[in-house]
Structure 1
């Protein structure tokens, strides 16, 4: 018998659906995608890291830099837009 690739379990499916259906993520993604150079993948990574827009607003440079795919230039641009 063969094994299906890219198969996910129920817990992972629920986690992904919860993320995609959460309005807070849409707010964060819309905000950061307005920043030059931030596309869908990066905005999604940022939205996964922060539970709310308020948490993003309180983020420091180190926390933003720790997000996968977020470089120094993106951090500068996001922080400038926030403040």
Structure 2
């Protein structure tokens, strides 16, 4: 390839470089917009910026997403029929570790917003 420096200075970028950057930007935009996997912390940031979360809620939820013990609790809960990611997140906000959840009574679990008697019973049975 012949450098296009017109006889002085640094060579100008080739056509490949000029096309690669916009294509990379387009790919990044497409991947972020159309993939199912989103970063939960990015989602929380967006909720905070939109005013849907207080600073305390934002901090607590980010800590929950980054806490390995809470993730272990959520994974264990999601193995129980009827408990998905949203419900496991709600429970893990209250009981961060499996030990805390094991020590909780059915009534304490049932007191978590959105958890009924049957889900509370299923959780207790799963952990006993």
Q: TM-score, normalised by structure 1?
A: 0.83
Post-superposition offset of 1:10: 4.6
Residue in 2 aligned with 1:53? Answer: 98
Q: Is 2:105 the counterpart of 1:72?
A: no
CA distance in 1, matches of 2:98, 2:117: 20
Aligned to 1:13: 58
Bigger mean CA deviation after superposition, 26-35 or 11-20: 11-20
RMSD after superposition: 1.9
- CA distance in structure 1 between the aligned counterparts of 2:51 and 2:98, rounded to whole angstroms: 31
Unaligned runs of 5+ in 1: none
Highest RCO, 1 vs 2 (Cα 8 Å, sep ≥ 6): 1
Moved more, 24-33 or 5-14: 5-14
* 1:18 aligned counterpart, secondary structure: helix
Alpha-carbon offset, residue 39 of structure 1: 1.0
Q: Which of these residues, 64, 69, 82, is aligned with residue 24 of structure 1?
A: 69
Report the Cα offset of residue 34 of structure 1.
0.5
Unaligned runs of 5+ in 2: 1-48
The reply on whether 1:37 has 2:82 as its aligned counterpart is yes
